[in-house]
Amino acid sequence: AFLHGELGEDINMEQPEGFFVPGKENLVCRLKKSLYGLKQSPRQWYKRFDSFMLSQKFRRSNYDSCVYLKVVDGSAIYLLL
């Protein structure tokens, strides 16, 4: 899931072990998407999830940001993350 998060800033990393391009051994890689192990990954994933849920007309709970509520035809739908 964390691989779908959009990064909010530029993050560079060393080239992965086994990746080899002759003459470019000292260059770094710029990440386009989040990776497991980045401190930003969980937050970026949650921001994307939250915007999707809000676009689907769910409301976030005032008491717990991991609880979403939507009322459809008089019935409540709760999504607990």
49: DSSP letter? H
Q: What is the pLDDT of residues 52-75, one digit of tens each?
A: 999 999 999 999 989 999 999 999
| Averaged pLDDT, 36-42 | 70
Domain boundaries, the chain: 2-80
The pLDDT score that the predictor gives to residue 3 is: 62
Residue 51 · residue 68 · CB < 8 Å: no
Q: What is the pLDDT of residues 10-38, one digit of tens each?
A: 777 777 788 877 888 788 878 777 666 67
**What are the beta bridge partners of residue 79?**
68
Helix (H, G, I), strand (E, B) or coil at 51: helix
Residues whose CB falls within 8 Å of the CB of residue 21, separated by 6 or more in sequence, listed in order: none
